[in-house]
Amino acid sequence: MLPTESATCPYCWESLEIGFDPAEGDHEFWEDCHVCCRPILFSVYVDSMGNAQMDARSDDD
């Protein structure tokens, strides 16, 4: 099972649980909000220790 990270939708401010693959290293992907259906750009950053951090942005940022 892939790990999940909590993120906040930049449009409707709902809290979302988003799954991602840290083995991909630093990467970006698009996913629609599960509540308002607007597109969110997720950026995943993985440090040298394998710890991952995710950032969520609107498509107009």
Query: What is residue 3's predicted lDDT score, i.e. its pLDDT?
Result: 85
- At 5-41, the pLDDT tens digits run 899 999 999 999 999 888 899 999 999 999 999 999 9
Instruction: Report the C-alpha gap between 47 and 61 in whole angstroms.
Output: 24
Place 61 in a pLDDT band, splitting at 50, 70 and 90: low
**Number of independent structural domains in the chain:** 1
Query: What is residue 16's predicted lDDT score, i.e. its pLDDT?
Result: 95
3-state class (DSSP) for residue 50: coil
Domain around 21: 4-58
